[in-house]
Amino acid sequence: MGILDGKQVLVTGGARGIGFEIAKKMAGEGAKVFVNDVKDEILDIAVTELLKAGFNAEGYKADITDEEAVAKMFHIIEKKGGLDVLVNNAGLSIRGVHALRTGTVEHDVKKVTEIGLMDWNGVLNINLTGTFLCTRAAVPLLKKSNNGRIINMSSRAGRAGGSVSDIAYVTTKAGIIGFTKQCAIELGAYGITANAIAPGVIMSEWLKDHWENLSNERQETLLNSIPLKRTGEPQEIANICVFLASDSSSYITGTTLDANGGSYLS
């Protein structure tokens, strides 16, 4: 018996990192989880792991920036019983988009003058347009649920900026917060709540790579700026997602929940 028994959930970008932990935790709480990702190799691995653990999970390969692909995905979800919770998790920084586009990973954080338009557009497309497309397609399904929930992944960087983030990423993550508020206003009448989570430094796959490229000194400075003196784990973000998806959070809407160990106190 879990606190999400009987709920149907979609997690975008759920094949690895925070998204995967969200899918796993929600499935563990009894939800049926649709796992979306753009990369099918890692998606297969992720879904196999969930199924092996005895969870109710299904994978959908779709690029959330592709309007048609998104429409198709939601059409299938509707046929399979509808949706109660949408987790807009897929998101990338300039580094991620650049690597996807060119195959080369650059570890230095690019400054505003160093960012090409293609990379800028890529970040805005995934983080904002993708969130919009999925939300727009999900709303008719969420209206049919008694407790529709939209959970968007913002970031500490969207609240306060930050030395490890680029400006396109920060822009979109702040944008997510506004998007979330307006969703709350427009959809409250249908019993749908919309909230954002703003994680601080979380040891997900992509951060691990980046972290190892930071000097010891830089790592120490970063850790020292966090009152809890440690980075967060993807599971700790997944936990919050479960709370926001559960009936316990029924009067919470339009908010951004900070999970950053206290590193930026909002």
Ligand X SMILES: NC(=O)c1ccc[n+]([C@@H]2O[C@H](COP(=O)([O-])OP(=O)(O)OC[C@H]3O[C@@H](n4cnc5c(N)ncnc54)[C@H](O)[C@@H]3O)[C@@H](O)[C@H]2O)c1
Which residues of this protein are in contact with other proteins, per CB under 8 A? Answer: 180-181, 184-185, 187-189, 191, 193, 200, 226-229, 232-233, 236-237, 239-240, 242-243, 248-262, 265-266
**Looking at beta carbons only, is 160 or 192 nearer to ligand X?**
160
Segment lying near ligand X (by CB under 6 A), choices 61-69, 75-83, 112-120, 182-190: 61-69
Cross-strand bridge partners of residue 60: 36
**For ligand X, what does the binding mask look like between residues 6 and 35, x meaning CB under 6 A?**
------xx-xxxxx----------------
Residues 55 and 47: their CA atoms lie apart, in Å, by 9
59 forms part of the interface with ligand X (CB under 6 A): no
Asked about 169 being catalytic, the answer comes back as yes
Is 32:9 a contact under the CB 8 Å cutoff? Answer: yes
CB 149 within 8 A of CB 245: yes
d(CA 93, CA 48): 27
Alpha helices in the chain (DSSP H): 17-28, 40-52, 67-79, 94-102, 117-124, 130-144, 156-160, 167-187, 205-212, 216-224, 234-245
Question: How far is it, in rounded angstroms, from Cα 197 to Cα 151?
Answer: 7
Selection from other proteins, ligand X, none that 155 binds (CB < 5 to 8 A by kind) is ligand X
- Inter-residue contact 34 to 64 (CB < 8 Å): no
**By the rule CB under 6 A, 89 interacts with ligand X:** yes
Q: Which of 207, 214, 223, 252 binds ligand X (CB under 6 A)?
A: 207
Alpha-carbon dihedral angle through residues 225, 227, 231, 236, given to the nearest 10 degrees: -140
Under rule CB under 6 A, residue 204 binds ligand X: yes
Strand ranges across the sheet with 57-61 = 57-61, 32-37, 8-11, 85-88, 149-153, 193-199, 256-259
Q: Could you say which of 4, 50, 202, 238 contacts ligand X (CB under 6 A)?
A: 202
What is the closest distance, in whole angstroms, from the C-beta atom of residue 198 to other proteins in the complex? 9
Site for ligand X contains 92 (CB under 6 A): yes
> Which of other proteins, ligand X, none does residue 227 bind to, with CB < 5 to 8 Å depending on kind?
other proteins
Min CB(160)–other proteins separation in Å: 12
CB of 6 to ligand X, least distance (A): 26
Active-site positions read: 169
- Summarize as ranges the residues that interact with ligand X (CB under 6 A): 12-13, 15-19, 36-39, 63-65, 89-92, 96, 126, 130, 153, 155, 199, 201-202, 204-207
